[in-house]
């Protein structure tokens, strides 16, 4: 599909996109909510300038660069699923900016995420965005990285937001953070950074 037009983006406000939930599920990445670009294309982290997919490639999690700016190709979706990499969001509705979300929406999203974890049993859950995590989970002093609390018995990480608006991070720093969570989840990285571990179920 072609890249969305301004009219497409305006029409995408409030739209939802499907989760990616492979079985078995190693690492469940949790975005804050879809951008208008993601809402228009139906693809996670699709907005140009978002560094999620470049960081996964830089970390060796994907073995080729994935470009979702015009939507996610079936071959890319299959490659992501084969890794055991899932993607969902705390809040399902697309907005122009994450700061349009309310605290109540983020807290409801945290409860929904716990239900998703209970149903799909990921090895590791990783929320991308410390501010949204602090609000949604009522943990105002939380710090990035592995959290002391699990989520329904599942190790919980908080990782940097890959949005281009997050000037504190680079693709390199994001790759390091995402790679650590991928290692914990047993996702093999290109170049043999970590060995794949067998999954049960």
pTM of the model: 0.91
Q: How far is CA 96 from CA 14, 73, 78, 100, 179, in A?
A: 10, 24, 28, 8, 28
Per-residue pLDDT of the chain (201 residues; tens, 9 = 90+): 678 999 999 999 999 999 999 999 999 999 999 999 999 999 999 999 999 999 999 999 999 999 999 999 999 999 999 999 999 999 999 999 888 999 999 999 999 999 999 999 999 999 999 999 999 999 999 999 999 999 999 999 999 999 877 778 999 999 999 999 999 999 999 854 433 333 333
Cα–Cα distance, 96 to 10 (Å, whole number): 9
Domains of the chain (ranges, CATH numbers): 6-10+22-185 (3.40.470.10)
Cβ count within 10 A of residue 173: 14
Q: What one-character DSSP code corresponds to residue 191?
A: T
Residue in 138, 76, 66 with CA at minimum distance from that of residue 104: 138
């Amino acid at each position: 599909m072609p890249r969305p037009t301004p009219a497409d983006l305006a029409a995408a406000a409030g739209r939802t996109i499907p989760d990616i939930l492979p079985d078995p599920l190693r690492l469940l990445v949790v975005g804050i909510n879809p951008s208008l670009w993601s809402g228009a294309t139906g693809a996670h982290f699709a907005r140009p300038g978002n560094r999620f997919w470049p960081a996964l490639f830089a970390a060796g999690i994907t073995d080729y660069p994935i470009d979702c700016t015009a939507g996610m190709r079936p071959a890319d979706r299959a490659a992501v699923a084969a890794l055991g990499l899932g993607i969902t969001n705390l809040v399902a509705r697309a907005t122009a900016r994450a700061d349009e979300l309310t605290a109540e929406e983020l807290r409801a999203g945290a409860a929904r995420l716990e239900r998703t974890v209970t149903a799909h049993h990921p090895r590791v859950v990783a929320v991308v965005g410390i501010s949204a995590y602090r609000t949604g989970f009522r943990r105002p002093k939380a710090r990035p990285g592995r959290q002391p609390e699990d989520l329904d018995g599942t190790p919980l990480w908080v990782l940097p937001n890959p949005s281009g608006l997050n000037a504190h991070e680079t693709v390199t720093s994001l790759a390091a953070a995402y790679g650590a969570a991928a290692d914990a989840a047993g996702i093999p990285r290109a170049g043999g950074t970590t060995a794949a571990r067998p999954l049960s179920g």
